[in-house]
Structure 1
Amino acid sequence: MTETIDMIHEDALPGHESALEPKPDWQPRYPGSGRLKGKVAIVTGADSGIGRAVAALYAREGAKIAIVYLLEDDDAEKTKAIVKDEGSEAICIKADIGSKDACNTIVDKTLEAFGKIDILVNNAGEQHPDDDIVNITEEQLRRTFQTNIFGMFFLTQAVRPHLGKGASIVNCTSVTMYQGSASLLDYSSTKGAITAFTRSLSENLVGDGIRVNAVAPGPIWTPLNPCGGADKEKLEHFGESTPMGRPGQPNEVAPAFLFLACEDASYMSGQVLHPNGGVIVNG
């Protein structure tokens, strides 16, 4: 089952994981223990990269998954097959989260398929490197904010009436929020907004028993980087500036999303985890 909703734009993003070499590591590393048994999760950007790894791990832990993606049908179907291989169920919803109407429909389709929603993972994002601020067009600036932060607002607004006590929201921010990025001015600005959104939303919902947290990955090998405009030289040295001297893999980030979504993190809200290769950000 694949639903198609309200497409706004089409460009090189987010890119096909099926065409990426070497392939990112998405496979869960450990047997499941039922930590999400009976849960239903919406995961945006779940066709590839971190989103695919999260969907795979959540499925191994017992969750049913709504795979939300923008363009890459083949990647989304691969993630759906991965979820099925883990013994769970998934639907694919092709949608642009930058549209409020699309976000409302994502929630409707998830409820139609699974009857409830327990976890929202706001993972989808886009980036467009520019070394000079004057080169960032108004269209690009609006589009980056539309996807990266407006989409989180829209989808959270749509899902909020269906979240009960014990539900969890996990947002994806970035190490660039804490370090800054000379060539990702608009992207890093949205990630700062996401961190503030996470902390404020936590304060807003914690009294209702709904936890809100975030993950701030460092350089992770996903389609976002080669398809987001990084040049060949940057890709050759991607991640080497971290203390570990390498980029991370999606399956090194997904456990942070699992921890924050399950009861292991029952006393955590408004917090950010930092799988970033050893970068100290004190935030």
Structure 2
Amino acid sequence: MGPSPDHGERTYRGCARLDDRKAVITGGDSGIGRAVALAFAREGADVLLTYLPEEEKDARATEALITDAGRKAVLVAADLRSEDQCAQVADRAVAEFGRIDILVNNAAYQMSADEGLLGISTDQFDRVLKTNLYALFWLCKAAVPHMPPGSSIINSSSIQAFNPSPELLDYAVTKAGIVNFTKGLALNLVERGIRVNSVAPGPVWTPLIPATMPPEKVDSFGGQTPLGRAAQPAELAPAYVYFASTDSSYVTGEILAVTGGQFIT
């Protein structure tokens, strides 16, 4: 990618807000996931991250950032469209850490379709829903029994949940579902002492963008925001740290927009 995304490598400074916490981050090899993994580690957490097998090189780079912060990194190659593999991710986290304190459902798939509805194949629709919604459901179901009171689930939604782009119709549907799921699950898990919240990013400069958008749209990506640019992944990480830490101990079922000034209501 040019320019390379900023994950906070030279700027993020931890304040011990997640000392000895055990975190699972899906899609942690690059983009927002890498920035969150770096921030969590510098805040004192051990991190298990999932990635697609073909993204191992990127996952290893994230692993180095975690270990450089003095924390334990566990890498799990997984296709989260499989319920069995989602269960294996939770099992591996428990085997490595003994528990799960933080679950970040961040892995996602999108593919721009200029024709909108008529340009979305059934195979693409199935992949988007399986990656973005089914995996979230399966991971929460597998992780919750191993999450003690005081734990936190953080789901990555999107401004697309509130202001959908026609060419991202299927992706936007899943992000709206994540918003609804977050609010419902938050109430469902109150008695367990587990908080559930969501970060809703606007445009963010991640590998997903040049990989899934027409080249002519990449150069202007993010220009529609009041701030006039896309966010860097490092600018999203503090929102996840907030929801993961006791700073948000009285917050559950909330959607936090990090959108460069675009409103979600």
**TM-score in terms of structure 1 length:** 0.91
State which of 180, 183, 193 in structure 1 corresponds to 2:164: 180
Comparing 108-117 and 25-34, the one that deviates more: 25-34
Aligned-residue offset at 1:250: 0.2
State which of 171, 174, 181 in structure 2 corresponds to 1:197: 181
Matched, 1:270 2:250: no
Letter paired with 1:90: A
Separation (CA, whole Å) in 2 of partners of 1:123 and 1:137: 24
| Structure 1 partner of 2:3 | 22
| Structure 1 partner of 2:137 | 153
Q: Deviations over 1:1-49 (max 9, x none)?
A: xxxxxxxxxxxxxxxxxxx221100016342111110100000000000
Q: 5+ residue gaps in structure 1?
A: 1-19
Separation (CA, whole Å) in 1 of partners of 2:225 and 2:130: 29
| Structure 1 partner of 2:14 | 32
Matched, 1:166 2:147: no
Matched, 1:53 2:35: yes
| Structure 2 partner of 1:225 | 209
Matched, 1:101 2:71: no
Aligned-residue offset at 1:242: 0.2
**TM-score in terms of structure 2 length:** 0.97
Give SS of 2:189's match.
Answer: helix
Q: Deviations over 1:122-144 (max 9, x none)?
A: 00000011122112111111110
Letter paired with 2:51: Y
Q: Deviations over 1:229-264 (max 9, x none)?
A: x11111010000000000000000010000011000
Separation (CA, whole Å) in 2 of partners of 1:223 and 1:105: 26
Paired residue total: 262
Q: 5+ residue gaps in structure 2?
A: none
Letter paired with 1:105: Q
Separation (CA, whole Å) in 2 of partners of 1:75 and 1:208: 35
| Structure 1 partner of 2:121 | 137
Aligned sequence identity (%): 45
Separation (CA, whole Å) in 2 of partners of 1:260 and 1:43: 14
State which of 224, 229, 243 in structure 2 corresponds to 1:241: 224
Separation (CA, whole Å) in 1 of partners of 2:171 and 2:160: 8
